[in-house]
Amino acid sequence: QVQLVESGGGLVQAGGSLRLSCAASGRTFRISAVDWFRQAPGKEREVVAAISWSGSSTYYADSVKGRFTISRDNAKNTVYLQMNSLKPEDTAVYYCAANTNLGALVVTTGGMDYWGKGTLVTVSS
């Protein structure tokens, strides 16, 4: 089993920044990639960014390209999501998720094997 715990959410004004953390524990050797998803009220959960556990591959949704950066610190078993130039439409619960499938990055909710409980990000206008 793999456990994921998110932190770093909060309230920020538009244009501000936040850094989310996803700490992994347990059988972390099984992780092949970690994704960040978000879910706004009344909307479906969507992928925001993904990174391979080696760090060699990354993915960003078009809506966050140039504003968000995903990174990882394998020594700490932690993946980060640096969010800059935040907009009110970025308001959502942010979840990290891990999958154990080798190969290309998986960016669908159904492809993830483990999920954290989420952290709320609220961007005020």
Q: What is the mean pLDDT for each group of 10 consecutive residues in the chain (125 residues)?
A: 97 98 95 96 97 93 98 95 98 97 86 96 97
- Both structure tokens of 64: 């966050």
Residue whose pair of structure tokens reads 């020594």 in the numeric block: 75
Contact 46, 39 (CB under 8 A): yes
Q: Please report the pLDDT score of residue 102 as a whole number.
A: 81
pLDDT of residue 4: 98
**pLDDT score, position 124:** 97
Q: What pLDDT is recorded for position 58?
A: 96
Position 101 scores a pLDDT of 85
In this prediction, residue 105 carries a pLDDT of 87
